[in-house]
Structure 1
């Protein structure tokens, strides 16, 4: 019965899911019409909200941070020592069951540490596993590698908890809200939810493995790595590019600041320090500045989807938050207010999670999600006496949850795997259902037992 349902999801997605960019275009149209009907604004007012500096171009700074997370994480994962490490992990996989279990588990851990690194490390690991286990279903293997991303916003690179933990907190409607990392990512309730997904999701993924007749075996040509670059060191310029002295000075400067940061500010991670850590770890592991420059160049192509689609999703966000000048009503406000209106101090985080999952279809960005929902959720949390960390994590969990069936963030791993979104999204529907149940029960437990 379970596999029949899974096969049905795969067939429906393969038939109906468009290209990821077209998906963004369709969402734009749906949001435009929904905003026009729900908020009673004119088409011209909504066109302005879509295309102005707070709409289409409203996430440029955050887009750059997210692109750097992906590029720095990818460059680090491409270092020879990382590849060897992933190869050693892949050698644990002896059959298709262990292939799915190992890939899911490792990618989930890596995404919890850093989402950009986790995405790329998961893809690299999946390819290493596919080389060793030839009868594993390749689309399911790649879906398993991506499924670890469902945990990223509950981890150390989550943008919402990092903003809450920033010095001075984050300003929302003139009020500053803050919560230390121990009240968000490292809170026992959050860690329990993460642990449940970490240890059970690998078995959920393996349960979806198709029978031999329907298994899709990877084309061996997809698993061939590019030849390692060779360098000539003859000219003064080339000697400087490969200079160990310049490499060491660069590392000394970077790690000196990182150590100083933690010594003076404690364990308060934000996106900038996370990016700095992975930047200088990448330089360290590549062992050569020229090699790292080339690794960055290779990794940058993975950010193409972010660069193309982020403005459209920023435009969608502009439509979602555009307010009727007379009534002050916005489409995002209508959705969030509805869930707030049917909540109490126990159900509020769970219903916030569900509303965040719905809004995430239209605003698949942690920063955008925060901008849309925080002005409604955080004041409501104050009124209900709910801890800011729990309220913020409800938004964060909703943001990561429906990424499984929102193709935007799957673009880098799909590019590396040579697949399209429709090849893996059918399997990820099941992951979405499973993690949704875990999160709903988790937030109810957070309210009642912590």
Structure 2
């Protein structure tokens, strides 16, 4: 049944969904028109907002790129790659492949969203080399694990409000991750999605005669002969002691940091993944080779992030983002505010696909409303986080690294992602409202 339901969505996106860069251009025009029509902004004012904000997220973009790059570096270490290949070698049926790639992507995304995106894509390729399975659904399943990232260890909203000096500290103080990421409702929600998403993906598996397969030979990783270092500089680049030394130094610092009471935040997570990757890649040359792949896979994000920054500036400066949030808040109660925060965040995320950037837009509206209504601050903050993660399923911006690794286009997987969006939306809304 789910396979038949997914079919028209797949055909629709394959025919009409443009490239993600074209999509951001169309969304920009839509935001321009909405700012002028609903916020009574002049064309020159909107143009000024857009141009002034084009580079407004550079520092945050750098932080987010480090999350992706460090996740990629860790995912391409020999240890992780051998583990993925060994796990893939045990899979014999398409259904098992779909369920397993979803579970791996979910767990990895909870640890770190960049790690999850890359591990899921590499594992999908490893499975497709061994099992005849619909390659589109396999990659969509790998990407579906991304939906839990904002409730995990690298979630930018919970880590931001857990960091001293964050912009809302005067209003809500510093909220530790024990009350957000590791809270009962968040762990329950995460567990439900870990159980239900693999099941949904398995039910969407097409029949053999409808499956789109891929030639395993096209997915084979090119064999690279290990170079023989000749010059002293080359021997230094390939020396393992440098990787072990600095990987160990970095991880040693993190032990001191956590023993001194330091908490999880974007910087500590990036440091953890970076130094673990340095240690496991062993030599500087191996790390730098992996870095080249990571930068190549993130090229689309680097190009599109400024356009989304400009779009976000228009939404913020024109008052449109606040109007959207206030519209949802206007008919909320203390019990329903988390639900409306989640839905509004899901809508805003289509135009501002940046968890930290979106929090900067919505926090000034949601937090005062939560305080006024007596709502649970932690739940409202996590509702915004989950809303941001939820509609990433149909926002192809963050799928770019997965697609680059797999060699597919956004239109190939987004039809399946629409059904994933419906199921996860119902589950998240239910837990935020009634748990």
Name the structure 1 match of 2:157: 160
State which of 216, 234, 248 in structure 1 corresponds to 2:212: 216
Name the structure 2 match of 1:14: 14
Q: Distance in 2 between matches of 1:283 and 1:354?
A: 40
Secondary structure of 2:91's counterpart equals coil
Name the structure 2 match of 1:248: 244
Counterparts of 1:56-67 in structure 2, within 5 Å, are: 56-67=54-65
Counterparts of 1:10-49 in structure 2, within 5 Å, are: 10-49=10-49
Give, in angstroms, the shift of residue 290 of structure 1.
1.5
1:191 paired with 2:183, answer: no
State which of 293, 305, 308 in structure 1 corresponds to 2:300: 305
Give, in angstroms, the shift of residue 69 of structure 1.
1.1
Which range is displaced more, 306-315 or 92-101? 92-101
1:280 paired with 2:269, answer: no
1:429 paired with 2:422, answer: no
Q: Is the 8 A contact 1:177 1:388 kept in 2?
A: no
Q: Distance in 1 between matches of 2:428 and 2:157?
A: 17
Q: Is the 8 A contact 1:119 1:149 kept in 2?
A: yes
Name the structure 1 match of 2:140: 143
Give, in angstroms, the shift of residue 242 of structure 1.
2.3
Give, in angstroms, the shift of residue 391 of structure 1.
1.2
Q: Is the 8 A contact 1:113 1:155 kept in 2?
A: yes
Q: 1:289 to 1:8 in 2, by over 3 A?
A: same
Counterparts of 1:114-133 in structure 2, within 5 Å, are: 114-133=112-131
Q: Distance in 1 between matches of 2:282 and 2:239?
A: 10
Counterparts of 1:172-191 in structure 2, within 5 Å, are: 172=168, 175=171, 177-191=173-187
Q: Is the 8 A contact 2:85 2:126 kept in 1?
A: yes
Q: Deviations over 1:88-128 (max 9, x none)?
A: 22233220110101010111010000000010000111111
Name the structure 2 match of 1:327: none
Secondary structure of 1:157's counterpart equals coil
Give, in angstroms, the shift of residue 247 of structure 1.
2.7
State which of 325, 349, 354 in structure 2 corresponds to 1:336: 325
Name the structure 2 match of 1:227: 223
Give, in angstroms, the shift of residue 174 of structure 1.
6.0
Q: 1:229 to 1:178 in 2, by over 3 A?
A: farther
Q: Deviations over 1:50-94 (max 9, x none)?
A: 110xx1111101111111111111111111111110112223322
Q: Distance in 2 between matches of 1:90 and 1:398?
A: 32
Give, in angstroms, the shift of residue 299 of structure 1.
1.2
Q: Is the 8 A contact 2:128 2:214 kept in 1?
A: yes
Secondary structure of 2:167's counterpart equals strand
Give, in angstroms, the shift of residue 380 of structure 1.
0.8
TM-score between both structures, scaled by the size of structure 1: 0.94
Name the structure 2 match of 1:318: 313
Name the structure 1 match of 2:104: 106
Q: Distance in 2 between matches of 1:2 and 1:31?
A: 34
Which range is displaced more, 67-76 or 224-233? 224-233
Q: Distance in 1 between matches of 2:407 and 2:386?
A: 29
Name the structure 2 match of 1:75: 73
Counterparts of 1:359-438 in structure 2, within 5 Å, are: 359-438=348-427
Secondary structure of 1:228's counterpart equals coil
State which of 433, 440, 447 in structure 1 corresponds to 2:429: 440
Q: How many residues align?
A: 435
Q: 1:294 to 1:259 in 2, by over 3 A?
A: same
Unpaired stretches in structure 2, ≥5 consecutive residues: none
Q: Deviations over 1:121-156 (max 9, x none)?
A: 00111111111212x111000000000001100100
Q: Is the 8 A contact 2:84 2:123 kept in 1?
A: yes
Q: Distance in 1 between matches of 2:248 and 2:107?
A: 28
Give, in angstroms, the shift of residue 173 of structure 1.
9.5
Q: 1:428 to 1:350 in 2, by over 3 A?
A: same
Q: Distance in 2 between matches of 1:128 and 1:429?
A: 25
Secondary structure of 2:158's counterpart equals helix
Secondary structure of 1:213's counterpart equals coil
Name the structure 1 match of 2:257: 261
Q: Distance in 2 between matches of 1:209 and 1:79?
A: 31
